[in-house]
Amino acid sequence: TRATKSNTKVNIGQTINDGVGVRKRAKAATKTINNFALSDSDEYSITAKPRTRKSTATRNRNNEKATTTAVTKTYNTRSKAKGQKSKKNTTTAKQQKKSNTRFHQFEHEQGQRLNETINKIDGEGGILNNWANERREIILNAKKKMDDCLTRKEDNIKKFKLGFENYQSSTTKTLEHLIKLHNQSMKFRRKLDDDLKHLYEKEEYELNEALNHFFKVHKRARKSLLMTIKEDHNIMALKRRLSGL
């Protein structure tokens, strides 16, 4: 609106300046016409005496005609300038009015379009707000589920770590106990082996001693038996001899 008003002001100023220029040009034209008419009449009066021999009345009438024609020309030029000025003013006013009406119509249409777009934007904004709220709820629910899942995983990891630590401690204790039992069994085995070896050696020695003693006793008994048998044989022989006598 400011731009159109400034343009209309500039157009009005130009038309006013054009009208002032037309007036000035018309005044200058009338002055030149009057001067030309006066100079022409004087020259004609000076040089026309010997040629035409007209009277002073005719010369005066001619001068009056020239002045009236000049005045009518100036009047016509002024009236034309005024008519052109009025036409320009009317055309500029009409154009300004048309431009104002078009501008107001354009402004009204733009306002309606702006209101429609604002209403559409408000409606779309409400839809977007609802969508954003639903999206936010979905995101919050997903985040809550993820947090619950993470807490469950953390609890399971803690339980697994605790169970693994308990298993590791029980395993180490069991291994230590097994190592202790193995050491004790090895010690007992070595002791048993030593005892068996000592017992075997002792029994072998005693058995050998008993066998040697048995063999010695057997040998002695055999010798004594042989001696008794020999003695018995000798006695029998003596008896036979004695009976033969």
Tell whether 8 is covered by a domain.
yes
Tell whether 235 is covered by a domain.
no
Tell whether 101 is covered by a domain.
yes
- The pLDDT assigned to 15 comes to 47
Residue-number span of the structural domain to which 46 is assigned: 2-134
* pLDDT tens digits for range 1-46: 444 444 444 444 454 444 445 455 556 655 655 554 445 444 444 4
Structure tokens at 132: 């954003």
DSSP 52: T
Which has more confidence, 14 or 99? Answer: 99
Q: CB under 8 Å, gap of 24 or more: what pairs does 101-107 form?
A: 103/1, 103/4, 107/1
Tell whether 53 is covered by a domain.
yes
Tell whether 86 is covered by a domain.
yes
How many other C-beta atoms can be found within 10 angstroms of the C-beta atom of residue 15? 17
Rounded to whole angstroms, the Cα distance separating 200 from 21 reads: 159
Range 189-193 average pLDDT: 86
Structure tokens at 194: 């030593």
Which has more confidence, 116 or 19? Answer: 116
Which has more confidence, 120 or 158? Answer: 158
Look at residue 111 and tell me whether its pLDDT is greater than 80.
Answer: no
Rounded to whole angstroms, the Cα distance separating 176 from 184 reads: 12
Range 80-101 average pLDDT: 63
Tell me how many domains the chain contains. 1
Longest dimension (CA), the chain: 263
Tell whether 158 is covered by a domain.
no
Tell whether 117 is covered by a domain.
yes
